[in-house]
């Protein structure tokens, strides 16, 4: 049980991993993210601090300003952030750092005070510089992501060696150089063709991904690695790889020309290439208050992290929202939004053209205590809560979402259709048409057939380029969760380790 109290300002696991200079640093940090190796830990509204027992005779003092995204460690490593900083952040993310408002140790108090002062000065300088410019500035999410590269080797040194504007300019220059390298690489691939034997070598792709990671566009690095896994995976892999190369070119071009994009589109591109948006900035926006029906959830395992996507449908607004949660190192996914429940809450959307991802704010009504789960009101007829349309309407919704963000890989739809066997596999069909189901959703398909009996039912599904993934079946008296779970062998292994 977490012993953290106070406002929920913690990051998410993906934000910590995005700070790692190299993927190997994140792996090493996992072994250090153990409470037994740390002492004098604490956190408050601005900072996180602790002492890590390493190989030296003295423990290393780590301090992180999670608002300004700057950090300091007394270890001799030249990597910034070092593995100790990443490990401390992982402990904080998972609730293993106690809340210690007003009890900062001396070195942490002094460093965080200077960090706050430097951040205030930098914001004022950035505002003045932005006013003087005649060209458009990069999206707001670039600020938090860029400031993550500003660190010190000693906890009592000045937090920022350079002005924030200079640091941001350097970060954007690295990004543009990395995106230019990506575009040249794509031109070479198209020139030589997909029959080039070099594509079958993972080293060809990994070298590019490492270059993009160094350029701090980790979102594109992840797409490159996923594309490498598709080479030779199935008979029609050429089509998939060519489509992914086209999307990479689109993002590389857009990421090099933020000034030519609308603000909403620029924020979408920034998120796609790997820039981070702080939760505090999202929660500072205007909330959308509604009775949100938890229409479905989808669990996948990405690298060493379990990711849960929970889809909410606003009863009054008729809008979709997606809440992400992450689990790693034996942690559990968020279970506070059970499928089939209705939650009366404030939702804060992340910036972007589509604006699907959101954070759950205040829940109205009785407060939750501990691990309790509360349904705000009984759900007598789940099928009546969703505006389940036809296959044609679902296609129109997906088309609009892809037009807003052509690089999206998942989008929720609600439709009333029947599962039917077609020539090339299973489909959801009605009088307006058919949509294919993903071939490897055997568990969800069996549950869908059992619940529907072959008749048309209200279904929440997740659109992907490979087809629909059924998430939940909404019957007259109940909702049946049939969404995919993470890697079963991984889940079983974790359960055995706990036992």
pLDDT tens digits, residue range 53-105?
Answer: 876 678 899 999 988 888 899 888 877 889 999 999 999 988 889 988 888 88
Q: Is position 269 within any domain? A: yes
454 and 426 fall within a common domain: yes
pLDDT, one tens digit per residue, over 242-280 is: 999 999 999 999 988 888 888 889 899 988 888 878 888
**What is the chain's mean pLDDT, rounded?**
81
Confidence of residue 343 (pLDDT cuts 50, 70, 90): very high
pTM over 0.75: no
Q: How many CB atoms lie within 10 A of CB 226?
A: 14
Q: Is position 140 within any domain? A: no
Contact 60, 52 (CB under 8 A): yes
Q: Is position 6 within any domain? A: no
- Residue 123 to residues 143, 164, 280, Cα–Cα distance (Å): 10, 8, 16
**pLDDT recorded at residue 373:** 43
pLDDT, one tens digit per residue, over 19-43 is: 888 777 887 888 888 888 898 999 9
Q: Which residues pair with 63 in a beta bridge?
A: 49, 72
261 and 352 fall within a common domain: no
Angle between helices 263-273 and 237-255 (to 10 degrees): 120
392 and 380 fall within a common domain: no
Residue 368 reports pLDDT greater than 60:
no
pLDDT, one tens digit per residue, over 415-443 is: 999 999 988 889 999 998 999 998 776 67
396 and 464 fall within a common domain: yes
- The most confident of the ranges 59-63, 113-117, 131-135, 258-262 is 59-63
Count of domains observed in the chain: 3
Final residue before a domain boundary, out of 355, 384, 413: 384
Residue 128 reports pLDDT greater than 60:
no
Q: How far apart are CA 483 and CA 473, in angstroms?
A: 10
Residue 379 reports pLDDT greater than 80:
no
Confidence of residue 303 (pLDDT cuts 50, 70, 90): low
Look at the alpha carbons of 385, 388, 393, 394 in this order and tell me if their dihedral is positive or negative: positive
Domain of 217, in residue numbers? 167-273
257 and 284 fall within a common domain: no
Final residue before a domain boundary, out of 247, 273, 299: 273
Contact 480, 473 (CB under 8 A): yes
213 and 283 fall within a common domain: no
Q: Are strands 467-474 and 305-314 parallel, antiparallel or unpaired?
A: unpaired
């Amino acid at each position: 049980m977490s012993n953290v109290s106070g406002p929920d300002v913690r990051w998410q696991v993906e934000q910590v991993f995005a700070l790692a200079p190299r993927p190997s640093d994140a792996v090493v940090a996992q072994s250090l993210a153990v409470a037994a190796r740390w002492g004098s830990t604490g956190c408050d509204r601005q900072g996180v601090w602790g002492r890590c027992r390493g190989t030296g005779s003295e423990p290393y003092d780590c301090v992180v300003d999670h608002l300004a995204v700057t950090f300091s460690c007394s270890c001799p490593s030249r990597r910034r952030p070092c593995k100790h900083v990443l490990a401390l952040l992982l402990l904080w993310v998972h609730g293993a750092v106690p809340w210690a408002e007003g009890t900062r140790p001396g070195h942490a108090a002094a460093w965080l005070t200077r960090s706050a002062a430097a951040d205030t000065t930098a914001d004022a300088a950035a505002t003045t510089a932005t006013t003087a410019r005649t060209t458009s500035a990069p999206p707001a999410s670039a600020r938090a992501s860029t400031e993550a590269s500003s660190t010190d080797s000693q906890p009592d040194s000045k937090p920022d060696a350079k002005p924030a504007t200079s640091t941001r300019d350097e970060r954007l220059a690295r990004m543009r150089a990395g995106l230019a390298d990506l575009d040249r690489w794509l031109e070479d691939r198209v020139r030589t063709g997909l029959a080039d034997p070099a594509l079958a070598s993972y080293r060809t792709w990994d070298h590019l991904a490492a270059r993009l990671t160094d350029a701090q566009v980790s979102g594109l690095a992840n797409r490159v690695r996923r594309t490498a896994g598709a080479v030779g995976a199935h008979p029609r892999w050429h089509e998939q790889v060519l489509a992914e190369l086209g999307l990479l070119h689109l993002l590389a071009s857009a990421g090099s020309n933020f000034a030519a994009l609308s603000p909403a589109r620029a924020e979408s591109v920034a998120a796609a290439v790997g820039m981070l948006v702080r939760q505090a900035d999202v929660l500072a926006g205007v909330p959308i208050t509604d009775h949100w029906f938890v229409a479905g959830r989808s669990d996948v395992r990405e690298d060493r992290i379990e990711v849960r996507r929970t889809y909410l449908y606003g009863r009054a607004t008729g809008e979709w929202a997606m809440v992400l949660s992450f689990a790693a190192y034996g942690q559990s996914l968020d279970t506070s939004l059970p499928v089939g429940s209705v939650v009366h809450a404030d939702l804060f959307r992340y910036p972007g053209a589509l604006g699907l991802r959101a954070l759950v704010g205040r829940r109205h009504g009785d407060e939750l205590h501990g691990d309790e789960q509360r349904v705000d009101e009984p759900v007598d007829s789940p099928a009546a809560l969703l505006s389940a349309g036809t296959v044609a309407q679902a296609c129109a919704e997906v088309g609009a979402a892809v037009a807003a963000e052509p690089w999206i890989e998942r989008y929720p739809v609600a439709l009333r259709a029947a599962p039917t066997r077609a020539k090339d596999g299973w489909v959801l069909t009605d009088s307006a048409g058919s949509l294919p189901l993903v071939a490897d959703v055997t568990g969800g398909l069996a549950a869908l057939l059992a619940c529907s009996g072959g008749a048309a039912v209200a279904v929440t599904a997740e659109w992907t380029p490979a087809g629909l993934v059924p998430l939940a079946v909404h019957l007259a008296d109940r909702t049946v969760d049939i969404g995919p779970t993470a890697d079963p062998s991984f889940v079983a292994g974790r359960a055995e380790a706990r036992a």
